Structure 1
Amino acid sequence: MMRILVVTEQYWPEGGGIELATHLIIKLLSQIDDMEFVVVTGTEKPKNEDWEEYLYVPTLDCTNKYALWFHLFRIRNRKWFEKLIDSVDAVYVPRYCYPVIPSAKKKGVKTVVHLHDYQPISPGAAIFPNSDGRNLLEKIEDEIRSELIKYQSKSRAFLSGFTVPLNKLVQKWVGQADDIICVSRRQVEIIKKEAPGLADKIRVVYNPPPEISKRVEGPPEKNFLYTGGDDPLKGIHVLFGALSRACKNNNWECTLTKVHQKKWRRFFQELGSRSDCTFHVNGKVNYTELKKIRSNSAALIFPSIWEEPLPFAIMEAMLSGTIPIASRVGGVSEMVEGTYGEELLFEPGNANRLSRKMERVNDLSPDELREIGSSLREKGTSKFEREKIKQKFVNTFKS
């Protein structure tokens, strides 16, 4: 029996795509008779279906990485944690709990780190397109730009520049792991350029797909869906720019989720009032309801402006038969390769090109939408086949 310790800040249903991926991976591997999991997390009520043991550590639920690492320095020296490491065959770090890696390696326990972003080469964990292979000054500039875009705080952006040299510590921690899992070829390409010392330990394994019900027969509604919220890195400003152009001549229906800021709600309300377009602007939407909305939408709009390694939004759209209209960032190109979605890729930040792609989808007939949706599901199911993904994870932990 192989016993694996998972140390993570949050666990599904808290968090976002990383937490969902961790949940799906554990669920998939728990199907194997000789693998069992012990989970240490800061989530009080996680979705627990497949664990052998669960330990709730509230200090792990930190929004600040530096506070998290401070708490982990204390936790990793506690007797109960040392005994826990002694009782397992491997330690799995799916997010930012990197300080446990040296403790595990000191005891000779295999350690696997899963990178869903770019934390080892960027304090903010995000990389802008065409900015890989940067020198130190360029890294500082990009970090300040990222923080300024996301938080619109000059003081926070200025201070973030000082964290770039400190991020070498993350590379040191991650470099001590036995294996590093990345989720797309593009992510590996970017990380290898800026952290070549990690290259020999990296392997690419796609995240397993969530369960997606097959769409009821019939074409989807002519409805566009955006799920990126008001995070500027997700490109809500690009979407607004595209719709400001396109709504002059169209009567589209658009659903937006995770939009909490009053200014964006007001912007879309005003755009709807001066055009024939209809906007359904929502805050948090539960996962089950989101799946229903997506399955009834003709297309998902994904205007992200950073190199997202393997966005679940694209994967779920494909498996739902919903056409992705996405910016050419990160792992998106390899996800939609060979599908109609590949023809709809546009350069990040190009609102004019996005509006044209949306018009192209809007002009599709019901039969064309049905045919494209069926093809997307077929190719998505083949690309993200659970059994292949499961075997790659098994090989990683048992090698």
Structure 2
Amino acid sequence: MNTRLHILNVSHNHFVRGGSDRYFLSLGELLSKEGNLVVPFCAKSDKDQPSEWATYFPSGADIESPSVLDVLKYHYSPAAKYNLRKLLSGNRFDIAHLHIYYGKLTSSILPVLKDARIPIIHTSHDYKLICAVYSCSRGGSLCEACHGKEYWRAMVHKCNRGSYLRSAISMSESYVSRWLGSVDAIDRFIAVSQFSATRMAENGIDPRRISVVPNFIDIAQFTPQTETGRYFVFFGRVEQSKGVGTLIKAFMQMPDIPLMVIGEGNFLPEAQALAATSPNINFAGFKDGSELYSLVGQSVASILPSEWYENCPMAVLESFAMGRPVIATRIGGLPELISPGEDGDIIEPGDVDSLCTAVRTVWEQRRNPGMGRAARRKAEQQFSSEIHYRRIRDIYDSLRGT
């Protein structure tokens, strides 16, 4: 029987804004269900889910409309450092599991954890460790010019929203974060895809300190759908890097096949304008929880036409759990998740014609439940909470020497 652990679960948000937040909260629930004491440490927000530990949450920087003080807090947060010390002074922890802690909590928390001699694990949900703007993309194209250390290139190329100022801030934060221990202070990195692990190793992180553990879902919360779907669905952030422009252009050429776009993002107004003359394309806005899953469950398949390095998006796992296949692009960690012809299809990023071909193929086969069943089976066999807990627990125990 596993020893009960005291785990500090650290991330910037204690509410769901994106896939990494859902993972962070779901992991906390899973660890607690297995009998461990799990304490969240996040930045304070009026959107926070209730927590008895919320009194320890520090205020984070305003990243969207920053003041000069916010820029300083984005690099180094005295409040996060102070509150974490206060939390540790009255509680003991066996493991600190970090997610997206930079930006709001900042790397100021790393020396505090090291001083307390708590083993530190960091699940890398994005490409922060090798890219100053976390995305390995610049101006809509893929980019790895910084190589995990030459962050000055981000300012030269204006990688953050085309702004010298924002890019300079991203550059300086990356150097400060690295200096505070974003690489050296971490005992084990968890990559959620083999693709990410390879990129980390190629950019200077010792592969012996990297473990690959894909994301997971609680299978019991999803009822597989067997009815014939009525439309294709995209759900997630509506951004150009997600390939939404390519998606809209493809369905404009297929007026007989419906598409539902679920989500919000910077590219939404442009996407709506582009699709204005296509009645087969519907924008449903932001949805979450049962409302989201009901809409996904009524689809023929999900589409992830990403044009940036996706890692292990929850949208794929959630679609699989509902018995819906996925059409995705051959980029990042996506090809690791999908078996073409069995539970979905893989196309080239930015290729409207190949997307149209894949969509028509799946649409014509929509009354055959084979792909949906294969998708659900993969979710059960590879991405269940039970399998995930064993993988994570093995890493925890290896760092504790048990």
Deviation at 1:325, TM superposition (A): 0.9
Q: Is residue 115 of structure 1 aligned with residue 120 of structure 2?
A: no
Q: Name the amino acid aligned to 1:108.
A: R
Match of 1:4 among 3, 7, 28: 7
Tell me how far 1:117 sits from its aligned partner: 0.7
What is the CA deviation profile of residues 50-79 of structure 1, one whole-angstrom value per residue up to 9, with x for unaligned ones?
x77443535136436955544533431458
Partner amino acid for 2:338? V
Q: Offset of 1:133 from its aligned partner? A: 7.5
Q: 2:211 aligns to what?
A: 203
**Aligned mates of 1:270, 1:79 — CA distance in 2:** 53
1:397 maps onto 2:396 in alignment: yes
User: 3-state SS of the aligned residue for 2:59?
Assistant: helix
Shift of 1:302: 0.7
Per-residue displacement from partner, 1:10-59 (whole Å, max 9, x unpaired)?
023x32111100111111111223x20122222445445xx774435351
Q: Aligned partners of 1:271 and 1:233: how far apart in 2? A: 22
In the TM superposition, 1:174-189 aligns within 5 A as 174-189=183-198
Cα deviations by residue, 1:241-266 (Å, 9 ceiling, x for unpaired): 2223x22xx41111111246433223
Distance 1:62 1:94, change over 3 A: farther
Match of 1:266 in 2: 273
1:269 aligned partner, one-letter code: A
Name the aligned partner's letter for residue 182 of structure 2.
W
- Kindly provide the amino acid, as one letter, of the partner of residue 314 in structure 2: F
Counterparts of 1:393 and 1:313, CA distance in 2? 21
Match of 1:228 in 2: 236
User: Is contact 2:58-2:83 (8 Å) kept?
Assistant: no
Cα RMSD after superposing both structures: 3.0
With over 3 angstroms needed to count, the CA separation of the structure-2 counterparts of 1:214 and 1:188, relative to structure 1, is same
Aligned partners of 2:90, 2:123: CA distance in 1, in Å? Answer: 18
Structure with the larger helix share: 1
User: Using the alignment, how far apart are the partners of 2:314 and 2:74 within structure 1?
Assistant: 27
The separation in 2 between residues aligned to 1:385 and 1:4, in whole angstroms, is 21
Distance of 2:262 and 2:99 partners within structure 1? 26
Code of the residue aligned with 1:88 in structure 2: it is: F
1:38 aligns with 2:39: yes
Structure 1 residues 340 and 63: CA distance shift in structure 2, 3 A: farther
CA distance in 2, matches of 1:116, 1:310: 8
The residue identity in structure 2 corresponding to 1:207 is N
Alignment deviations for residues 88-143 of structure 1 (CA, whole Å, 9 cap, x no partner): 22222111243312211122111111110110111211124875586578983699
* Secondary structure at the counterpart of residue 176 of structure 1: coil
Matched-pair contact (CA < 8 Å) for 1:209–1:315? yes
Task: Tell me how far apart the structure 2 counterparts of residues 321 and 79 of structure 1 sit (CA, whole Å).
Answer: 42
Quickly say closer, same or farther: Cα 1:40–1:141, change in 2 above 3 A.
Answer: closer
**Measured at CA, do residues 243 and 143 of structure 1 come closer, stay the same or move farther in structure 2, by a change above 3 Å?**
farther
- Quickly say closer, same or farther: Cα 1:32–1:287, change in 2 above 3 A: closer
Q: Which runs of 5+ in 2 are unaligned?
A: 65-69
**2:300 alignment partner, SS class:** strand
Mapping 1:210-289, distance limit 5 Å: 210-211=218-219, 212-221=221-230, 223-244=231-252, 246-247=253-254, 250-259=255-264, 261-272=268-279, 278-289=280-291
Return the TM-score normalized by structure 1: 0.83
Alignment map for 1:296-335 (pairs within 5 Å): 296-335=298-337
Aligned partner of 1:91: which letter? A
For 2:117, the aligned partner's letter is G
Q: Tell me the matched-pair count.
A: 376
Q: 1:254 to 1:291 in 2, by over 3 A?
A: same
- Quick one: distance in 1 between partners of 2:363 and 2:151? 40
Counterparts of 1:28 and 1:219, CA distance in 2: 33
Which residue identity lines up with residue 102 of structure 1 in the other structure? P
1:87 maps to which residue? Answer: 92
Percent identity (aligned): 18
Cα deviation 1:168-213 (Å, max 9, x = unaligned): 44343232111111111111011111123x4321111122214442
Correspondence for 2:375: 376
1:318 and 1:70 map into 2 onto residues whose CA distance is 39
Gaps of 5+ in 1: 273-277
Distance 2:301 2:92 in 1: 48
For residues 170 and 82 of structure 2, the distance between their equivalents in structure 1, rounded to whole angstroms, comes to 26
User: Does residue 1:167 correspond to 2:167, yes or no?
Assistant: no
Task: Tell me the amino acid that sits aligned with residue 191 of structure 1.
Answer: M
Distance 1:110 1:144 in 2: 37
